[in-house]
Amino acid sequence: MEKISNIVFIGAGNVATNLAHELKSKGLNILQIYSRTLNSAEKLASAINAKFTVKEEEILQTADLYIVSVNDDIILDVLKNINLKNKKIVHTSGSVDINIFSNITDNYGVFYPLQTFSKEEIISFKEIPFCIEANNLSFQNQLIELANIISEKVQILNSEERRVLHIAAVFACNFTGYMYLISNDILNENKISFDILKPLIQRTAEKVKKIEPIEAITGPAKRNDIEVIKKHLIYLEKFPEFKKIYKDLSDSIIEYFNNKNNTNVKL
């Protein structure tokens, strides 16, 4: 089986930055970084000693693999002026169907690391679940081999499974990140440091390593403690948007456990 050695990145965002660093550190050749944003292309390229360009026509034609890592809704727009006929292409998105590439080339796939990345902190991929999909077995095997170099948790998922996983990840990661953001804003307003919440945040995440989320959840809504919820809503008058979220989520939690309990009684 032909091995993937030379890679071009199309995109220089959070995922591309972390993935390019990781592949480089494992001995792969990152030939070039393309991005529409000069600053992003230049910064990533110089960090990993690669070339860069902001011009579609200058994208190198010699790579074994083109990794497209841009916002989902501009993938096709970015690709329309790039000649990738007969090239091997993957994207790194949770929710984009593999067939987005079907009119572009004969070897296409998905190379999706299930993690939240930031350019500011480059992390190891060892523990990151890697979801692979390809339109043919030979290319799929190449992608698995490549992923195995950087991650111990490589698996094959089809586009439908990957989308479900991405939706679950939006709840577990993105919405959770918004909860942190809200709590930070509420504390800031009261000149209390966010530091005080950090052990609680860590512990909340650690709990579900060992026990089921339904056993781990605590708090006024879980306990159906209406008096506390009412007091909190009164305080939150000064944050109307956060008050709405507090009320909606508390109602939903109460209903969730009411339904669970009713179901149990009926069994």
Block residue for tokens 């089986």? 1
| Residue 124 in the binding site for its own copies (CB under 8 A) | no
Structure tokens at 245: 């979220």
Measured distance CA(11)–CA(72) in Å, rounded: 11
Structure tokens at 61: 């034609």
Measured distance CA(136)–CA(91) in Å, rounded: 15
User: Near its own copies by CB under 8 A, which window of 27-35, 45-53, 102-110, 185-193?
Assistant: 185-193
| Residue 164 in the binding site for its own copies (CB under 8 A) | yes
User: Near its own copies by CB under 8 A, which window of 31-39, 41-49, 60-68, 245-253?
Assistant: 245-253
* CA-wise closest residue to 113 among 131, 134, 88: 131
The contact mask relative to its own copies for 61-100 (x = CB under 8 A, - = no) is: ----------xxx---------------------x-----
Block residue for tokens 């501009």? 74
Kindly tell me which of 33 and 114 has the beta carbon lying closer to its own copies: 114
Site for its own copies in 16-55 (CB under 8 A): none
| Residue 149 in the binding site for its own copies (CB under 8 A) | no
Answer for the pair 158, 97: CB distance below 8 angstroms, yes or no.
no
Indicate the helix (H) or strand (E) that contains 254: helix 240-266
| Residue 212 in the binding site for its own copies (CB under 8 A) | yes
Which of 39, 58, 60, 244 binds its own copies (CB under 8 A)? It is 244
User: Near its own copies by CB under 8 A, which window of 28-36, 38-46, 49-57, 116-124?
Assistant: 116-124
Measured distance CA(188)–CA(169) in Å, rounded: 28
Give min distance, CB of 118 to its own copies, in A: 7
Give min distance, CB of 243 to its own copies, in A: 10
Which of 136, 175, 258, 261 binds its own copies (CB under 8 A)? It is 175
* CA-wise closest residue to 16 among 6, 30, 26, 28: 30
Site for its own copies in 128-147 (CB under 8 A): 128-129
Kindly tell me which of 138 and 174 has the beta carbon lying closer to its own copies: 174
User: Near its own copies by CB under 8 A, which window of 21-29, 57-65, 98-106, 124-132?
Assistant: 124-132
| Residue 216 in the binding site for its own copies (CB under 8 A) | yes
User: Near its own copies by CB under 8 A, which window of 26-34, 45-53, 77-85, 160-168?
Assistant: 160-168
Percent composition of the chain: helix, strand, coil (DSSP 3-state, to 5): 55, 15, 30
Answer for the pair 163, 112: CB distance below 8 angstroms, yes or no.
no
| Residue 152 in the binding site for its own copies (CB under 8 A) | no
Any residues with CB less than 8 A from the CB of 145 and at least 6 apart, and which?
Answer: 1, 3, 4
Which of 86, 203, 258, 261 binds its own copies (CB under 8 A)? It is 203
| Torsion angle of C-alpha atoms 244, 247, 252, 254, degrees rounded to 10 | 180
Block residue for tokens 């199309």? 10
